[in-house]
Amino acid sequence: MQRAFLSFFLLTWALVGGLNVARARSLTHPVATKDTIVVRLPNQATLTLMVRDAAQLRQLKNYHLDSLTSRLATYIAQAEAAAQSSSTDQVTMQFYPDKDQPGQNLPEQVRITTRKKAAHTNRVDVLLNKTFGLVITTNDDGSKSYNSLQIKSKEARQAHRDSVRLKNIDQTTDLILDLGLNTFINQKQYLSPTTGQLESVDLRTEGARYVSIGLDWITRLGSKRSPLSITAGPHFAFNNYMLSGNNKWVNENGRTDVVRETNGRQYQKSKLASSSVNLPLMLRLQLRDNHYKPSFSVGVGGFIGYRIKSWTKLKYTDDGNTYKDKEDGSYNMENFLYGLQGTIGYRGLVLFAKYNMNGLFKANAGPDTQVLSFGLRLLDN
């Protein structure tokens, strides 16, 4: 550490000690804001010292500045040497002068953090007793600059996080990602073309998947902290209706039916899939705790949509070989969609449900059934 820094540091602490009586007269009563002492030196270096009250200011004279200055010079030299040889961008060293020399009224702890900011440029943070702080920056040309180190209390850090969350409450869009399953409800039995008997369509639970991704535009009702808002899409949804058993979807004679395979093929996958764009409109209640973290939420509303595309996909084995067949088509599915949907959640866990009020297929052109989709909402800011 350069001799100029030792003289500068000793001069600063001595000056602060000499000012403490005069400064204490104006700080008889604690104030909410911190007091600041600024010392400017001829070499254009500036030291800023922040204290909370007069009691802290009076304590400065108890630190035996002469021995403390020499000790700090040794500590900082060790920290700079450790930073130069370290493979990381930051090195923190802790020293305990009071334990090394008990009864000398030395600081309990000195913590020095050295950060590498660029080639040949280091930053050193010196912290005394977690109260007083100093930042020393060594530039490319070897010159040093000094600034105070702002030490935030636990309460101050919490207040900062709260202010950030409060600001984010006013965001206008949320990214939405829903993952779930489809099931048929209100299904009416129909005459199977394979057996000639009344049957229902059975879906393979793990294969009847539902995925939706989109944006919710948020319009708050009331003040900034109001828990009520209106949200709207658009959302893009993908529905899979995978059949159980050795069955397949067949589009013949203007109808879409489920037909059992009788030619010896063994289906590993047999599904009808569709993609659609939807526009939901929902009223949402979002409660928050004292730190503005989301807690309980509930949303209800409806949606309208339009089917973009539909197709069938088969995966089967035949004579020991595996084949995959895909065929695009309308499969007599309804083009326009509408229904109800809702969400309910607590903190990071949000569940959704979506009920298609119109049938999956056009009238008399396929199984008479409606679709219910449900699952988890993984993204909801």
3-class DSSP state for residue 211?
Answer: strand
Percent of the chain with pLDDT over 70: 70
- The answer to whether residue 159 sits within a structural domain is no
pLDDT above 50: residue 29 = no
Give yes or no: residues 112 and 204 share one domain: no
The answer to whether residues 113 and 247 belong to one domain is no
Between CA 194 and CA 255 the distance in angstroms is 14
State residue 330's pLDDT score.
95
| pLDDT at residue number 30 | 43
User: For residue 243, is it within any domain?
Assistant: yes
What is the arithmetic mean of pLDDT over 22-40? Answer: 50
* More confident call, 172 vs 274: 274
Indicate the residue among 104, 120, 153 that finishes a domain. Answer: 153
What domain range includes position 93?
3-153
Long-range contacts of 198-201 (CB under 8 A, 24+ apart): 199/258, 200/367, 201/243, 201/258, 201/367, 201/369
Statement to judge: residues 348 and 237 lie in one domain: yes
Average pLDDT over residues 57-71: 66
| Pair 115, 192 in one domain | no
For residue 61, the 8-state DSSP code is: G
User: Can you tell me the mean pLDDT for 119-132?
Assistant: 56
Tell me, what's the pLDDT at 140? 61
Place of tokens 């000499």: 18
Read off the pLDDT of each residue in 187-208 and give the average, rounded to a whole number: 86
User: What is the rounded average pLDDT of the residues 313-330?
Assistant: 89
pLDDT attached to residue 124? 62
Residue 67 φ then ψ, to 5°: -70, -35
153, 187, 210 - which closes a domain: 153
pLDDT of res. 321: 84
Q: Which of 91-100, 138-147, 320-329 has the lowest mean pLDDT?
A: 138-147
Mean pLDDT of 45-63: 67
CA distance 61 to 170: 49
Does residue 211 share a domain with residue 119? no
What does the alpha-carbon distance between residue 54 and residue 31 come to, in Å, rounded to a whole number?
A: 10
In a domain, 164, yes or no: no
- Does residue 207 belong to any structural domain of this protein? yes
CA 321 to chain CA centroid, nearest Å: 46
* Structure confidence at residue 168 (pLDDT): 73
Confidence (pLDDT) at 287: 94
With cut-offs at 50, 70 and 90, classify the pLDDT of residue 314.
very high
Confidence of residue 198 (pLDDT cuts 50, 70, 90): confident
233 and 136 co-located in one domain: no
Instruction: Please spell the DSSP secondary structure of 78-143, one letter per residue.
Output: HHHHHHHH-SSSEEEEEE-HHHHSTTS---S-EEEEEEEEETTEEEEEEEETTTEEEEEEE-TTS-
Q: Which residue has the tokens 């004279």?
A: 61
Same domain? For 268 and 366 the reply is yes
Which has the closest alpha carbon to 125: 151, 107, 143? Answer: 151
| Alpha-carbon torsion angle 352, 357, 360, 361, nearest 10 | -170
DSSP 8-state assignment for residue 10: H
- Residue 113 pLDDT > 70: yes
**Cα 191–Cα 193–Cα 199 angle in degrees, nearest 5:** 40
Same domain, residue pair 127 and 187: no
Task: Identify whether residues 81 and 184 lie together within a single domain.
Answer: no
pLDDT over threshold 90, residue 337: yes
The amino acid present at 105, given as its one-letter code, is N
Residues 203 and 72 in one domain: no
- 322-329: average pLDDT: 92
pLDDT of 6 over the 60 cut: no
Residue 160 lies in a domain: no
Residue 69, CA distances (Å) to 1, 75, 162, 182 in order:
11, 10, 39, 73
Question: Distance between CA 343 and CA 38 in Å, rounded?
Answer: 56
Q: What is the pLDDT of residue 159?
A: 75
**Least confident span in 81-90, 126-135, 168-177, 331-340:** 126-135
Look at the block and give the residue holding tokens 């050193």.
Answer: 124
Q: Which residue has the higher pLDDT, 242 or 264?
A: 242
The per-residue pLDDT for 176 is 94
233 vs 216: CA distance, rounded Å: 5
* Residue 56 belongs to some domain of the structure: yes
In this structure, the answer to whether residues 96 and 41 fall within a common structural domain is yes
* pLDDT tens digit sequence for 273-309: 999 999 999 999 999 988 888 899 999 999 999 999 9
Give yes or no for a contact between 149 and 137, defined as CB atoms under 8 angstroms apart.
no
Average pLDDT, the chain: 79
Residue 197: pLDDT band (50, 70, 90) is confident
pLDDT at residue 48 in the model: 65
As given in the structure block, the two tokens for residue 267 are: 């289906």
| pLDDT class of 152 with cuts at 50, 70, 90 | low
Torsion of CA 207, 208, 214, 218, to 10 degrees: -130
69 or 247, greater pLDDT: 247
**Spatial separation of the C-alpha atoms in residues 125 and 113, rounded to whole Å:** 5
pLDDT at position 17, please? Answer: 45
Residue ranges of alpha helices (H) inside the chain are 3-25, 54-59, 65-85, 97-100, 154-168
Does residue 375 contact residue 213 with C-beta atoms inside 8 Å? no
When mean pLDDT is compared across 15-24, 96-105, 278-287, 363-372, the lowest value belongs to 15-24
Q: Within this chain, do residues 369 and 303 fall inside the same structural domain, yes or no?
A: yes
For residues 303-326, average pLDDT? 92
Residue 165 lies in a domain: no
pLDDT at 43: 60
Amino acid at 154: K
- Give the integer Cα–Cα distance in Å for 6 and 4: 6
Report the C-alpha gap between 141 and 147 in whole angstroms. Answer: 18
**Quick one: tokens of 355?**
């009920």
Whether 50 is covered by a domain: the verdict is yes
How many domains would you assign to the chain? Answer: 2
Paired with 307 in beta bridges are 276
